Each structure stands twice: as structure tokens, then as C-alpha cells.
Structure 1
Amino acid sequence: MVRESRREKERRRKRQRWSTKLALGAAVAVLAMFALLLINNQMNLNAKNRELESQINEVQSQVDEETQRANDLEDYQEYIQSKKFVEEIAKNKFGLICPDEIIFKADE
């Protein structure tokens, strides 16, 4: 049986401590890299989320505008189907009058 000297034991212990510290440092470095990767991905997702929310707001405003336009067109469609519209067109474009109306012409 070979007996280790005191110096050899001390050297072996130092190497074990150093390798333990190195392994611990490597583990901390790997964890730090994962943490940075997660933070970077979270920041990218937040930026994408803000961009998509602004697009949603823009599309929603377009939908609101088109809904208002559709309502206006429905109102106009009802108006052009009314008797009042027909009378206005007859008076303005064709110069027609109702039987009970009197036309006054100004002297020139």
C-alpha cells in the first residue's frame, strides 16, 4: 500500500476544490445564459404584443368607420325610397310642381 505524502494530499484537495469551483462556475454561467435568453425572448414578445395591439386598435377603428358608413348608406337608401326624395328630384331636376303650388317668377 502506497501512502500519500502530506503534500500530495494537499495538492489533490486543491485540485478537487478547483474542479468543484470550476463546475459551479460553469453551472452559474449556463444558468445566467438561460436567464438572459429568457429575458431577451420576453422583451421580444412584449414588443410584438404592443405591435399587435396597435394593429388591433387600428382595425377596430376601421371596423367602426365602416359600420358607421353602412348605417349612413342604409339611412340614405330609406331616404331615396321616400316620397319626399322623389318630390325634391322632380322639383330640382325636372322643374315639376305639385298641383296646389304657385310659382312666382322674379322680374329681371
Structure 2
Amino acid sequence: MAAKARYKRVNEQNKYGMIMATVAVALLLVVVLIRSMSLVQKRDMYHAKIDTLQTQIEQEEKRKEQIAEFETYTTTRKYIEQVAKEKLGLVYPGEIIFKDKSAGK
């Protein structure tokens, strides 16, 4: 009889231990799932940020090319003449300038 009681007590302790272990594993699984969802959201946010930054890089590369082209253009004689005419009002000797009377109104 004592052996049966002891066996029953050990068996109940084993069941209690198994239940506790199962609960602990389930809690760990829930925590891991929650953290993984959080990490997935962060990953998606970072991918969106990378796409945005990549677009900005492409825009800045285009702007860089435009600036390089403008820099080359500003060293040409055509540009110098254009600025001299438009901003300084200079003309070549013997050149005639016609002004539109309606443009001044």
C-alpha cells in the first residue's frame, strides 16, 4: 500500500512537472512569436526606408550630372555672351537691338 501511495505521489509530481514545463515552453513560444512579429515589422519599415533612400540617391545622381553639365556650359563662350546680353545689356559693336513696346507694359 505504501508503494502505491508513493507511486501515485511520484506520478502526480511528474504530471505537475510536465504541466509546468509545458506552460514554460508555451510562454517562451508566445514571447518568441511576439518578438518575431515585431522584428518583421521593423524589417519592413527598414526596407521601405531603404527604398526611399535609394530613390533619393538616384535623384541626387541626376542632379549631380545636371550640375556637371551646367558647369561645363558656364565655361563656354555662348554662355558668357548670353549673360553679358541678358544681365549686363552688352552688345557687339554694330549690333542692333529691337525692343517690343508691349513687353514693357
- Shared fold, TM over 0.5: yes
Q: AA paired with 2:87?
A: K
Greater Cα offset, 69-78 or 49-58:
49-58
User: Following the alignment from structure 1 to structure 2, what is the Cα–Cα distance between the partners of residues 44 and 103?
Assistant: 71
Deviation at 1:25, TM superposition (A): 0.8
Q: Secondary structure at the match of 1:10?
A: helix
| Structure exhibiting the larger radius of gyration computed from Cα positions | 1
The correspondence for 2:57, drawn from 47, 63, 71, is: 63
The whole-number CA distance in structure 2 between the counterparts of 1:27 and 1:96 is 93
- 1:34-53 aligned within 5 A: 34-53=28-47
TM-score by length of 2: 0.76
Match of 1:31 in 2: 25
Over the residues paired in the alignment, what is the CA RMSD in angstroms? 2.3
User: How has the CA–CA distance of structure 1 residues 10 and 100 changed in structure 2, closer, same or farther, with 3 Å as cutoff?
Assistant: same
Q: Which residue of 2 aligns with 1:3?
A: none
Deviation of residue 101 (structure 1)? 4.5
TM-score calculated relative to the size of structure 1:
0.74
> Are positions 1:94 and 2:88 aligned together?
yes
Gaps of 5+ in 2: none
Unmatched tracts of structure 1, length 5 or more: 1-5
- Cα separation, 1, equivalents of 2:4 and 2:99: 126
CA distance in 1 between counterparts of 2:51 and 2:99 reads 57
Matches within 5 A, 1:78-93: 78-93=72-87
CA distance 1:14–1:86, shift in 2 (3 Å): same
**1:14 — aligned with what?**
8
